[in-house]
Amino acid sequence: MAKAPVPGRAKTRLAGVAGAEGAADLAAAALLDTLEAAATAFPPGRRVLALDGDLAAARRGRELAAAAQGWQVVPQAGQGFADRLVEGHRQAHRLAGGPVVQVGMDTPQLCPVLLGDLAEAAHRHGGPVLGPADDGGWWVLVTTDARQAAVLADVPMSRADTGRLTAAALAAAGHPALEAATARDVDLPDDAEAVAALAPGTRFAAAWRELASASGTLSGPTSTGAAP
């Protein structure tokens, strides 16, 4: 699930420090990192990009279009974000089969091994896997059947209790979820700095360092640890 990184539409909560174009550059870098990790974990035919917007109008649009080669790209559909998530799972199961490992573009620190492990865990469990986010939401939902994602339509999104409510809704529908490792979404400047420090070898970290250097107002990542 991704939004085309168009200035003014992508990562708007970072625009206060990065500006609209800088925020879109960070979003583009995060999406490129995510596409690369997923493409390493899963072969062509097993990758679906549910896209909101047009890559032709996006920052790094040509690079993103090249990275999306080998993906089945479908437009996001639905009235709200929850509906788009449900439809995204339905489309992915229809086009690529399951398990479906659904992530967004907010976790550029992801590594291919983790994505593959999540799919295998769902296969062994015979049901969903849900990864909580530090902010109370969730960063990954793995489904083994599209009907499991239908519960999302009744879960309020983008709240501090979205993760808990999603787990409860899955359990109430007879699909108790395994819990995956917690991860940090990039929503705010503190998140961006922490994730860039965690994965300094990513495009996202490079974009953050460039932004910090240009602005002189952000400290940027200082970690020298290896990227995941």
Give a three-class secondary structure readout of 210-225.
HHHHHHCCCCCCCCCC
**Nearest CA-CA partner of 180 in 192, 190, 166:** 166
102 has which bridge partners?
A: 141
Q: What is the value of pTM for the model shown?
A: 0.92
Interatomic CA distance for residues 127 and 153, integer angstroms: 18
- Residue 212 has what pLDDT? 86
Sign of CA dihedral 7, 58, 88, 33: negative
User: What 3-state DSSP class applies to 140?
Assistant: strand
228 has which bridge partners?
A: none
Place of tokens 């960063």: 139
Q: What is the pLDDT along the chain (228 residues), one digit of tens a residue?
A: 999 999 999 999 999 999 999 999 999 999 999 999 999 999 999 999 999 999 999 999 999 999 999 999 999 999 899 999 999 999 999 999 999 999 999 999 999 999 999 999 999 999 999 999 999 999 999 999 999 999 999 999 999 999 999 999 999 999 999 999 999 999 999 999 999 999 999 999 999 999 988 876 555 444 333 333
Tokens describing residue 107: 């976790």
Q: How far from 37 is each of 32, 44, 86, 113, CA to CA, in Å?
A: 9, 13, 23, 9
What string of DSSP letters covers 29-49?
HHHHHHHHHHHHHS-TTS-EE
Question: Which CATH number, 3.40.220.10, 3.40.50.300, 3.40.47.10, 3.90.550.10, labels domain 2-213?
Answer: 3.90.550.10
Interatomic CA distance for residues 44 and 70, integer angstroms: 5
**Nearest CA-CA partner of 104 in 64, 182, 50:** 50
- Residue 81 has what pLDDT? 95
- Residue 214 has what pLDDT? 84
Place of tokens 């089945």: 72
- Residue 189 has what pLDDT? 95
- Residue 224 has what pLDDT? 33
Alpha helices in 61-161 (DSSP H): 61-67, 81-96, 112-125
Ordered by start, the domain boundaries in the chain are 2-213
- Residue 113 has what pLDDT? 98
